[in-house]
Amino acid sequence: KQEVTQIPAALSVPEGENLVLNCSFTDSAIYNLQWFRQDPGKGLTSLLLIQSSQREQTSGRLNASLDKSSGRSTLYIAASQPGDSATYLCAVDQYGNKLVFGAGTILRVKS
Amino acid sequence: NAGVTQTPKFQVLKTGQSMTLQCAQDMNHEYMSWYRQDPGMGLRLIHYSVGAGITDQGEVPNGYNVSRSTTEDFPLRLLSAAPSQTSVYFCACRSGQGSEQYFGPGTRLTVT
């Protein structure tokens, strides 16, 4: 059974810092991996989707990497801003139709 | 485009009552899913559909029913509510296998 773990569970950084969020998964036979952002009381917003054949994806200040063989993905946020404060969720798509989520990392960026 | 809409936003039920959570999408996506989110846990898949007339179970299907008669709608029915079903429920859609998933704003359900 696929299990997804996110470390750390919570992170507090000063504005302007570069930071890395980690995601690990137990079964490397995946279709793709998605990173989401969730603001309090809101739904999920897709940030980046990495196909299993890709090594990384970039969108603005965000860069996500994928190492399938080791079962790891990282989300790198450059020059963090208070508006980046949210919960970040990693989800593995194993068959192309079901996502398995990690519990998330709660990020707080202090101004 | 509204994207994915869910109603109601909030609901309180008594144990044993039944209700339907509504989900609609105007993106013409074939795939739709229901997840629940509990504190300290990631989202867990309840049921999903890969097209009208086709549904399948996810990780936690017990106590829930779904049907998919149109591409746009995917309602989730609670047959006999239990306190363990207190959660936030999210509906999602995607255009096809392995594509990006889009989520609705969620329904917060409390069962007393």
Residue A17, beta-bridge partner list: none
pLDDT of the residue at A83: 97
Closest CA to B91 of B58, B50, B28, B47: B47
d(CA B97, CA A46): 16
pLDDT of the residue at B71: 96
Strands A72-77 and A56-59 come out as unpaired
Q: Is A26 on the interface with B (CB under 8 A)?
A: no
d(CA B28, CA A18): 38
d(CA B44, CA B34): 8
Q: Find the CB nearest A43 among B31, B50, B105.
A: B105
Q: Which residues of chain A have pLDDT under 70?
A: none
The per-residue pLDDT for range A64-95, each reduced to its tens digit, is: 999 999 999 999 999 999 999 999 999 999 88
Q: For residue B66, give every residue at least 6 positions away whose Cβ sits within 8 Å of its Cβ, in sequence order, or none.
A: B34, B46, B47, B49, B55, B74, B75, B76, B77
Query: pLDDT 10s digit of each residue in chain B, 112 long?
Result: 789 999 999 999 999 999 999 999 999 999 999 999 998 888 999 999 999 999 999 999 999 999 999 999 999 999 999 999 999 999 999 998 889 999 999 999 999 9
Strands B54-57 and B107-111 come out as unpaired
Q: Is A62 on the interface with B (CB under 8 A)?
A: no
pLDDT of the residue at B111: 97
pLDDT of the residue at B10: 97
Residues of chain B in Cβ contact (below 8 Å) with chain A: 4, 31, 33, 35, 40-45, 48, 50, 58-59, 90, 92, 97-98, 100-106
Q: For residue B71, give every residue at least 6 positions away whose Cβ sits within 8 Å of its Cβ, in sequence order, or none.
A: B28, B29, B30, B51, B52
Residue B107, beta-bridge partner list: B89
Q: Is A71 on the interface with B (CB under 8 A)?
A: no
